[in-house]
Structure 1
Amino acid sequence: MKNVLICASLLGSMLTFAQEKDSTKTKNIDAVIINTYIKKDSDFSNKMSIKAIEDPQVFSSINKSVLENQAIFTVDDAYRNITGLQQMWSPTSRAGDGGSFIVLRGFPSNNSMRNGLVSPVTTTIDAVNIERLEVLKGPSGTLYGSNVASYGGLVNRITKRPFENFEGQVSFMGGSYNTYRAQADINTPLTKDKKLLFRINTAYTNQGTFQKTDAKNSYFAFTPSLTYNLNDKLQFNIEYEMFNTRAIGDQFFFYLNPGSLNGIDNMKDLEKAGLNYKESYIGDDLYTTARVNNIFGQVNYKINNNIKSSTNINTSSSYSDGFGPYFSASVDTNNNVSVSRFDQATRDSRKKYLQIQQNFNFDYSFGNGMRNRTVVGFDYLKTKDRSRFIYLANGATYTVPANGGDYSDFNGTTLGALYDNPENISHYDVDGDTNTYSGYISNVFTPISELNIVLGLRYENNDFLGGKVWVNDTPAYNQSAWSPKAGLVYQIIKDKFSVFGNYQNSFKSNGYYTTDLAGSIALSDPERANQFETGFKANLINGKINATVSYYNIKAKNMLFGTGQYTAAGNAVQTQTGEIQSKGIELEVNAYLIKGFSLIGGVSYNDTTDLSTGFRPSTAGSPWLANFNASYQFVDGSLKGFGFGIGGNYANANKIYNQVNPATTRFEIFTLPKYFVLNANAFYDAKKFRIGLKVDNFTNQHYWIGYTTGNPQKLINALGTITYKF
């Protein structure tokens, strides 16, 4: 907190000095703000350059300057600006599946793409190298495949690239829960002709948690990039991402249902009964060490004015080793709350991806205003999974009272000693390789300047080479699927107002499933999801207001559905009759309303139903979501460069348990309460320096997120920032 107070005092004392040094013109500041908050055109949603007003797919995007103004340095915190997105699970850093989970349009998703290629990050994703975040809404399997595209949408991290000028900035941050951070962004040409360009973004963060301020979690990001422009036709790009983490995982409560909680059916009442929101329930040194390494290579070649080629090679690997504590709560007949503590550790776990992708883009204009744009692509993806999870074989739970207990016995030394004896260990292994071969085409035809017709098709073949899951050998299989898409956009007022509709598809190979109590297995059909969506897009007042309103209907079928029966070996008996329907509406607005004043906001409603049970799935998140951020920056006068903002996120109750309890055969619900979290920030941006202050959750609200779990989130926290620019 001392660092925050220093930043706050400097913010006032340096205003006068900075005003004399900053000569930025008002109109230039206006342009920067508009591009920061409003511009939403994309080169990625259709793997070609297309304006938002003429794109039949709905997507949201957040610019790096928005993150800077709000003093956000992780992708998880950046999600607060995306309409219809709700975070469900913080990163656990486990190799393969350890990234944060979100919900989009009623379906779980995660951050699995970078620059249009598969690059999962299983740790906390540092935003130091983020140019822009794009969130594509709805099934996007046609252009991105089955391995990364959730039926609700996908997140694409667009990274910073080198440019021709020598420029850079260094920032220092400090704040609540022993948070200290240093970061740098340095760009320079390496040759006099400015053909070889280099940029490096790096950051180191050390912080505790609001429950354990002395945790000393550390996060290191190192992301250099290199561009070589051989001539005006040929360009080479190389990027490297390294994220190293040593941290204690956030607190996750599993198995929350009224049957084990003496009838308590919501988190607010469980807190009243004695579950302590601020207590960590663990001792020291339960760290996980995790590493993510991503390498991206690209060759762009302009064959002629109408044809371009892009060759991409991408590798992504994750590693983890360490503890994975998790918790459950129970309530006895006297309403005494107890907490049981468990651990599922990883040992030398690894998951790797290799992707090779070739795209050809064609762009022809002909006739009287007609235009045709096409992308044709080929993709190879190799996935290699070597995940190993271990846990105590004796089933020790370390149960303690929720208040007033000694929680220090559940620590790294104690558990490490137990794991040192092989007889104490049970394990769960995943060992298998998959080769995925794909080809796709997407075409945007413009018969008249106001009308775009989009058609696309993908063929994908998944070749699983066989492997092991837990103790079971999994046979090899080969399965293919087609994924079509279609869209129509008509600009009622050219470049200002359009009506659109789309059909989008995605799919997934689930492999083998157990069909009966005898343990028979069968290869499941590909799981499929189809979306129909319609709506309006507006780009008004010289681009100062950008708005989208849409209605969507998604139906997923051929999903594996448990019958409630288990084989003698403990395998769940399933059918492939599961179906989920998700429908809803979304309204998103980005606006520059008056000089200096900007607004990001939106509201969404989602109605998701598991058609097999008639219930809302426990992974669908809150039905109602809303977000806003209002920001004002002085663009002239004595306070030019000073800005401030306020933002917030609302979610109504989230049913994380919504089913018939197998133990009691009764229908039961457990909900996380609604929340409305408010954040505020202020900054001063001068030519050579920037200083800022933010306070998140300034009402100090208790709020929970969950992916069938309950995860308490940060209480009030403040952060001060000082940046030197050169």
Structure 2
Amino acid sequence: MLLLFGINTNNLVCFNTTHKFALLKIILNNMKVKILLPLLSCFMLLMGAASFAQTGTIRGTVSLSNDEIADNISVTLKGTKIGTVTDAQGNYEIKNIRPGNYTLKASVVGFSPKEEIITVTAGKELLVNFTLITTSEALTEVFVKGNANKYTKAESQYVSRMSVKNLENSQVYNVVTKELIKDQLVTNQDEALKNVPGLYQLWAATNRAGDGASWYSLRGFTTQSLVRNGLAGKVNSNTDAVNLERIEVIKGPSATLFGNVVSSYGGLINRVTKKPFETFAGEVSYQNGSYGFNRLTADVNTPINDDNTALFRLNAAFGNANTFQDFGYSKSFFVAPSFSYKVNDKLTISIDAEIGNQDNSGMPLIYFGAAPSQLGISNAKDLDINFKRSFLGDEFVMNTKTLNVFAQALYQMSEKWTSQTVFSSSSNKATGLQTWFYLLPNQQLSRNAWDANGRDNAIEFQQNFNGDFNIGSMRNRFLVGGDIYYGSNNLVFKNIKNYAAYDVINYTGTAANYYDFNPTNVRNRISGNDNDPYTSNSAVTTYSAYVADAINITERLILSAAVRFDHFENQGSFDPLSGTEAGKFSQNAFSPKFGAVFQILKDQLSVFGNYQNSFKNVGFASANEGGSLVLKQFDPERANQFEFGVKANAFQNKLSATISYYNIKVKDIVTSDPSLPNASIQNGTQFSKGFELEITANPIPGLNLLVGYAKNDSELNDLRPITAGPENLINYWFSYNLQTTKLKGLGLGFGGNYGDATYVYNAGPTETFELPSYSVVNAALYYDQPKYRVSLKVNNLTDELYFNGYSTINVQAPRTLMGSIAYKF
């Protein structure tokens, strides 16, 4: 029989539960107030215990048939709103279920759902495990036990656009998981991408319309984050991490499936956003940190109807922060709604959006106004600048607005064929004053600004048909599809007359004119009827078709091939003053791709090789013809990559690794013609080769690690290009959380980044400027419980002065601290 414990003024008394109501009345009438509260608490505990005795519990583990982590899998009781999602180890638990017969369902996008009829008994715990099979494997079930290697999520529906596992894919790609983002207390995309081997940030987002997003170096070439859920999804600011499910960095020339508009020769960055699931859940968090950093986020998911066919999820963030300098701040809000509707067993429709607004007064980029030999220095560490000074007289604010919309209709045509219809729209608008500096001799800076207003838009429509069938004994995963892309830019720049600097300031010692450079004075200098703005109106359209096939010659040998045809139309630059267009042209291009994979150990170890191709439409430029400048249409540049390596996923996914060597050659690059000033010639060749390594592991329960290394050797006309970044890059992160003690959930993280010295100016042996090597260390401490999480993060623990740049010198933040508290429901 259950017992009720109460406390009187002297001792502990035990009461039989059959008398609990009579005793409660006596207590209320006679006991002192100081005794009442403990007794009421005991009464509530009794009632809870009695309620528990009348309900049951279901728990278990969900495993996936491929190598993915079985986290965030929806487990529900059909016909009710009762359910939960699995944790990072694939475990789930549903409590307080009334006795009766139910149908328990486990489901997630991309896998065939599983159902089991169960009986819940009062006071009993029921164990139910599931194994979900990928849609393409529904006819041949494979059991792979769940794992806790939370820093790997190798499988992707976007990289090959086919149901091809990582170990079957000849292409190299890296994934930043949401678990890593959470452990590192990452708040934006730039921070998250520091975990990708070989990816180096050249400069942060400028928020300017047209090309204001962050620039990166990847395998020796520049790239930006232009892809969202596999299609065009550009932003001109540093994207908030609140809506990131993961980030995929796809390596090498990838025009075959993605086209050349959103990818570069080094690769592309694909943001994968959060999707709704079948149970009610959410999280609200608040972060506070150094230099006035404040950020509030919310993630709420709910089914809309009783049968869980209509689902809705909303992610939102609001934040503001200052910089470590005397002027500079940012303020932003970001909202990302997502909706999906399962029309029937064959058709699912989904639509989501990103709505963002950011005011940014960031740190101006420092360019070279003179050659290093004239400056008398060749390394940023020798600059006698106090970088806590902004050299601004007030806040110069650029406002950026973003609206991205993504819609998809996924239709199961048959057991072997699937249709995917996708639409994406990306719109960015930016207005405000933007500043930059030029480094001059005699320890001086020229201060410059323009009024930069504009908008850019991109629309992409894509249709894919996927087949998974056998020809004889050989399995074929087949893709045929096409897309239409349209992008436009409308930009207006109004500079100080004759593109002059506002003023020149001494960057050491006292500067009497320090505060003169402010928005009011700059706007007064820019204004004037005789100061015409520079306008640019351009648009491009591509019509593309592609086909790809991955064929199992044997169970372990997989050959793949793909080809893409692009018809590219550049509408040129439109001059509204004269009503004329200039530089209009069209070109056609084919992009082939080949790959081979042999699995030495089935689903554990494979060797691979690939050939990939890409191109760049150059268009018109001035050329030398008989000693005179003429406008000439140049051929597209061509890039070819050969790569080979090893992929591993062993010990039930507790160890995952990719090792590769690549060699990229780009020919027909347009460079300056030495025989005539302002003329161009198409004779440049760039070589880029290197080695990359990434290892993620979960060697013991609670310990997770990520280690990445990249070495890149690039050469353009016998010089290392400034787009290449450091030759050697290292990234690492280790985390450990206690498993069995009373402090289970307490974790510690430690990691950072290293980069060699890198050129930001390279015109030959006597004309170079370097950014020094750097080693940045970060640490995190967190306590994670089912209902809440408390975290503390320190970035740049050693307070190192370091830089990045792309023909610029951009100082990075000193030591910063951040704390976070999150409530989960």
Please report the TM-score for the alignment, with normalisation by the length of structure 2.
0.80
Matched, 1:586 2:586: no
SS at match of 1:415: helix
| Structure 2 counterpart of 1:522, one-letter code | K
Shift in CA distance, 597/129, structure 1 to aligned 2, threshold 3 Å? same
Shift of 1:421: 2.4
Conservation of the 8 A alpha-carbon contact between 2:416 and 2:468: yes
RMSD, aligned α-carbons: 2.0
| Structure 1 counterpart of 2:546, one-letter code | Y
Conservation of the 8 A alpha-carbon contact between 2:370 and 2:439: no
Counterpart of 1:142? 256
| Structure 2 counterpart of 1:675, one-letter code | Y
Counterpart of 2:735? 631
SS at match of 1:408: helix
Shift in CA distance, 399/49, structure 1 to aligned 2, threshold 3 Å? same
| Structure 1 counterpart of 2:751, one-letter code | G
| Structure 2 counterpart of 1:415, one-letter code | V
| Structure 1 counterpart of 2:725, one-letter code | G
Counterpart of 1:410? 517
Moved more, 594-603 or 401-410: 401-410
Shift in CA distance, 593/25, structure 1 to aligned 2, threshold 3 Å? farther
Conservation of the 8 A alpha-carbon contact between 1:693 and 1:719: yes
Counterpart of 2:437? 327
| Structure 1 counterpart of 2:709, one-letter code | V
Conservation of the 8 A alpha-carbon contact between 2:600 and 2:607: yes
Counterpart of 2:34? none
Q: Distance in 2 between matches of 1:253 and 1:25?
A: 57
Counterpart of 2:347? 234
For residue 215 of structure 2, the aligned residue among 89, 97, 101 is 101
Matched, 1:650 2:731: no
Conservation of the 8 A alpha-carbon contact between 1:59 and 1:134: yes
| Structure 1 counterpart of 2:545, one-letter code | G
Conservation of the 8 A alpha-carbon contact between 1:142 and 1:458: yes
Matched, 1:305 2:415: yes
Shift in CA distance, 714/50, structure 1 to aligned 2, threshold 3 Å? same
Matches of residues 514-533 of structure 1 in structure 2 within 5 Å?
514-516=622-624, 518-533=628-643
Shift of 1:267: 0.4
| Structure 2 counterpart of 1:708, one-letter code | S
Shift of 1:566: 6.4
Q: Distance in 2 between matches of 1:364 and 1:723?
A: 46
For residue 497 of structure 1, the aligned residue among 605, 610, 633 is 605
Counterpart of 1:281? 391
Matches of residues 346-425 of structure 1 in structure 2 within 5 Å?
346-347=452-453, 349-365=454-470, 367-368=472-473, 370-394=474-498, 395-403=500-508, 404-406=510-512, 407-423=514-530, 425=531
Conservation of the 8 A alpha-carbon contact between 1:29 and 1:635: no
Deviation per CA, 1:102-137, whole angstroms, max 9, x where unpaired? 010000101000000011111111111110100001
Shift of 1:547: 0.8
SS at match of 2:546: strand
Q: Which runs of 5+ in 1 are unaligned?
A: 1-22, 661-665
Q: Distance in 1 between matches of 2:324 and 2:674?
A: 39
Counterpart of 1:562? 672
Q: Distance in 1 between matches of 2:515 and 2:61?
A: 58
Matched, 1:605 2:711: yes
Q: Distance in 2 between matches of 1:396 and 1:295?
A: 40
SS at match of 2:242: coil
Counterpart of 2:179? 65
Matches of residues 74-93 of structure 1 in structure 2 within 5 Å?
74-93=188-207
SS at match of 1:693: strand
Matches of residues 9-88 of structure 1 in structure 2 within 5 Å?
30=89, 34-88=148-202
Matched, 1:543 2:653: yes
Shift of 1:468: 3.8
| Structure 2 counterpart of 1:544, one-letter code | K
Conservation of the 8 A alpha-carbon contact between 1:178 and 1:207: yes
Conservation of the 8 A alpha-carbon contact between 2:449 and 2:501: no
Moved more, 510-519 or 692-701: 510-519
Q: Distance in 1 between matches of 2:207 and 2:259?
A: 24
Q: Distance in 2 between matches of 1:401 and 1:475?
A: 42
Matched, 1:243 2:342: no
Deviation per CA, 1:554-580, whole angstroms, max 9, x where unpaired? 00111110125766xxxx310111110
Q: Distance in 2 between matches of 1:658 and 1:419?
A: 33
Shift in CA distance, 653/215, structure 1 to aligned 2, threshold 3 Å? closer
Q: Distance in 1 between matches of 2:88 and 2:411?
A: 35
Shift in CA distance, 257/30, structure 1 to aligned 2, threshold 3 Å? farther
Shift in CA distance, 207/564, structure 1 to aligned 2, threshold 3 Å? farther
Shift in CA distance, 678/25, structure 1 to aligned 2, threshold 3 Å? farther
Shift of 1:331: 3.0
Q: Distance in 1 between matches of 2:299 and 2:675?
A: 56
Matched, 1:225 2:352: no
| Structure 1 counterpart of 2:246, one-letter code | R
Counterpart of 1:432? 538
Q: Distance in 1 between matches of 2:782 and 2:254?
A: 38
Q: Distance in 1 between matches of 2:703 and 2:395?
A: 47
Conservation of the 8 A alpha-carbon contact between 1:501 and 1:535: yes
Deviation per CA, 1:325-346, whole angstroms, max 9, x where unpaired? 11122232xxxx1121111331
Shift of 1:38: 2.5
For residue 709 of structure 1, the aligned residue among 808, 811, 817 is 808
SS at match of 1:281: coil
Matched, 1:151 2:257: no
Q: Distance in 2 between matches of 1:458 and 1:695?
A: 46
Shift of 1:470: 12
Conservation of the 8 A alpha-carbon contact between 1:123 and 1:243: no
Conservation of the 8 A alpha-carbon contact between 2:197 and 2:692: yes
| Structure 2 counterpart of 1:684, one-letter code | Y
| Structure 2 counterpart of 1:402, one-letter code | Y
Q: Distance in 2 between matches of 1:287 and 1:188?
A: 38
SS at match of 1:503: strand
Shift of 1:281: 0.7
Counterpart of 1:7? none
| Structure 2 counterpart of 1:181, one-letter code | R
Q: Distance in 2 between matches of 1:24 and 1:698?
A: 41
Conservation of the 8 A alpha-carbon contact between 1:427 and 1:470: no
Q: Distance in 1 between matches of 2:575 and 2:255?
A: 26
Conservation of the 8 A alpha-carbon contact between 1:135 and 1:156: yes
Moved more, 255-264 or 585-594: 255-264
| Structure 2 counterpart of 1:416, one-letter code | R
Shift in CA distance, 201/558, structure 1 to aligned 2, threshold 3 Å? same
Matched, 1:133 2:239: no
Conservation of the 8 A alpha-carbon contact between 1:90 and 1:250: no
Shift in CA distance, 465/420, structure 1 to aligned 2, threshold 3 Å? same
Counterpart of 2:548? 442
Q: Distance in 1 between matches of 2:560 and 2:214?
A: 33
Counterpart of 2:309? 195
Q: Distance in 1 between matches of 2:620 and 2:811?
A: 36
Query: Which has the higher Rg, Structure 1 or Structure 2?
Result: 2
Shift of 1:216: 3.9
Conservation of the 8 A alpha-carbon contact between 1:249 and 1:325: no
Q: Distance in 1 between matches of 2:88 and 2:546?
A: 42
Matched, 1:690 2:792: no
Shift of 1:707: 1.0
Q: Which runs of 5+ in 2 are unaligned?
A: 1-57, 63-86, 92-146
Counterpart of 1:506? 614
Shift of 1:473: 4.8
